[in-house]
Amino acid sequence: MENKSEVYRITENIYRIGISPRLPGSLDPNIYLVISDDEAVLVNTGPYREFENVKKEIETLVSLEKIVLIVITSADADMCSALPLFENDCPEAKLAMHWRCSRLITGGIWRKGLFIVNENNWEYAFKNGKQLLFFPASYLSTPGEIQVLHPESSVLFSSSLFSSFTVSEGIILNTSHLEPLAAYHEHFMPDSKIVKSIIEKLKMLPVRHIAPARGGIISDNIPAVLKAVSGFYFGSFRDIKQRQINDPKVYKILCGDVLNRLIQIYSLDEVVSVYRGSGITINENTGRIDSSTSKGEALWEEFFNVLLEKKGMGWLSLIESQVRRISKEYSISFPVAFNKVVLNIRNKNIEIDQNMARIHGTRKRMKADLEEIEERMTTCPVTGLKNEVFFRAIIAREFSIAEQKELNSALLFISLDDIFGINSRYGREEGDDALRGVAYIIRNYISEADERSTHFVYKLNGPVFAYFIPECSGGCDMITAEKLRERIAASSVFIEDITVSTGIVNFYELYQSNLAGTEIPENLISLGLSRIQMARAGGGNTICDKGSAAENNAMPVTSVLIIEPDPGYAELLSLRLTQKGISSLILSDGNDAVEYIKKEKPSVIVSEIMVPGVNGFAIKQGLLSESSVSSIPFIIVSHKKNDEYIIKANSLNIFHYFQKPYSLIELTGIIDNILSRKSG
């Protein structure tokens, strides 16, 4: 049957545009249109494949040229994959979304203006003064998900929250039968804490209609629906109360609960027909099990085997989450029918993988692997910016060019003031989000003006960015640093207020130092980090563009050398040291480390034993023979710690030996004590 779009009027000037036929058990996307005098807003665009149908139905209501805003509530493909096709037909439209969502879907597919809702006070005003209000719903199903309220009509466009599987009755969801809603949420919603937190905020809003991303529209008994959804099971069902089955009749009741969900989605007649002729008889009026040839757990298994035989994976997938919860709650076996489905899928995936490998061949796969490895080596996985490895190679060349032309360039070293605190309070993911947010703000600043087209930003080790301004003059470095500092401090994209400290380094400061090769980026970074520390010493959220008297007399040296091939351990330690105002350098190769130690003489060395080139013990052994570096405190960190290694460490006068995973607080505390004694 050919698909076509259909229009449903929710309330005055607000319409749902969807796809028909709406098949029970499917996940049909909803597109919404809001008309406000001579302006219109499209909420989601729908899937790419349905563009022509959706476009025709929109044009029965309003010209596409009247659309001034396209709101993307979620990065889900069914919600927005048709977006590029609307660009030519909607010349006045801006794209409204959360900044996280914008990073996922806008790369190269929307050349017009963006309306980042969290940077516009979470509201949009029509020319007639009426508004749309936006609310965060991050991590419901995708990062940066949002909900939209039309206050005039009290319609809430709820994105994935309150979505449901399609039922046979039609577009409106019957709020006395919420099994299709429960089925969707058990499968697709995350931890209940996130859902309940969002619902608590929704209770304060004047909502009369809920327009979800999928499934039926809810237009009655809203408070009861909010309460019901708050009580649904989510995720891994951590909070389920364990029960015992003492009566075999309980299995018949549990099968009845599953039947209820199937009937609400597919209709009573169709469910009855599935079991006709089997050992299970379903009452055609009540939808309950009248009789069965099997009892107890045997009935439980037979019930799902019939479904698998008659309807295959489609029906089983809709009840899988519910059945898994019941099995856990009553401590009964998860039905074999589901395991058969999983095994079939796994075998099919293995077969597909094998065929793909034969089709593409080893050479193409190896080429792709090499390109991926090269990209990973030069790109920060969190921000997508080029990393410190790339920066060091580029900046050495730029310094040489600037010095030959006798032109100055500048570097702004920008560091987040409390990234370690964010990681501790909210977890590493929110810390990574803070880094992504700062990268987003800096990128936007660069793209706003043509004169900044030659500016570049890089992500260095730890919570530090390097902003490069070639041929810098007229105080451009300080102006740029101040604007970025203000924008970051004023931004609402972060989970809490973020500030940065900035150290400015001008190339001309090093023109008479006769530096060459790797010494150039090493000294630029070291000088920048020392100025970050001076800026932070005054309380943070400040800028330092010149060094202390001690710095002017001699180039700063790295306080701590971290010799660590594992980037996770290395960056976490470097980050913590930076938070304590201690500069550090990460090297992953033993040979490079030995060369650096002899030249720069760091104050403390923290080394993994298993290091490429020269291992940690061998590095320390070599230092003992040279008086200038033999007394540098040397700390070992390793997964391996046994009697043999401890004896070896003692013989080499190792200062301290930590076994991974170690206490970051303890390790940085010891380093801090060592440096305090040295400075004292």
DSSP notation for 65-93:
GGEEEEE-----HHHHTTHHHHTTT-TT-
**Is there a contact between 24 and 266 (Cβ–Cβ < 8 Å)?**
yes
Average pLDDT, the chain: 83
Give 105's Cβ-side CA count (13 Å radius).
29
Q: Is CATH 3.30.70.20 the right assignment for the domain spanning 388-679?
A: no
CATH 3.30.70.270 in the chain: give the residue spans. Answer: 388-679
pLDDT in tens, 641-676: 888 899 999 999 899 999 988 888 889 888 888 887
Separation CA 439–CA 452 (nearest Å): 16
Interval 321-330 mean pLDDT: 86
Separation CA 596–CA 602 (nearest Å): 9
Lowest mean pLDDT among 168-172, 228-232, 289-293, 321-325: 168-172
User: Which of 132-146, 369-383, 610-624 has the highest average model confidence (pLDDT)?
Assistant: 610-624
CA distances from 57 to 216, 294, 495 (A): 19, 52, 40
**Is there a contact between 488 and 465 (Cβ–Cβ < 8 Å)?**
no
Residue 360's pLDDT band (cuts 50, 70, 90): low
Question: Other CB atoms closer than 10 Å to residue 509's CB: what's the count?
Answer: 18
Q: Is CATH 3.60.15.10 the right assignment for the domain spanning 4-174+187-230?
A: yes
- At residue 422, what are phi and psi to the nearest 5 degrees? -65, -45
* Distance, CA of 109 to chain centre: 20
Give 487's Cβ-side CA count (13 Å radius).
18
Interval 571-576 mean pLDDT: 82
Q: Is 23 helix (H, G, I), strand (E, B) or coil?
A: coil
Question: Other CB atoms closer than 10 Å to residue 650's CB: what's the count?
Answer: 10
**Is there a contact between 185 and 199 (Cβ–Cβ < 8 Å)?**
no
Six-digit token string for 654:
């190792």
Check residue 373 and give its pLDDT. 58
Q: Which helix (H) or strand (E) holds 214?
A: none
**Is there a contact between 526 and 501 (Cβ–Cβ < 8 Å)?**
no
State the pairing for strand pair 289-292/410-416: unpaired
Check residue 181 and give its pLDDT. 87
Outline where 26-155 has alpha helix (H).
51-59, 77-80, 83-86, 99-105
pTM here? 0.48
Separation CA 632–CA 600 (nearest Å): 12
CATH 3.60.15.10 in the chain: give the residue spans. Answer: 4-174+187-230
Interval 166-170 mean pLDDT: 72
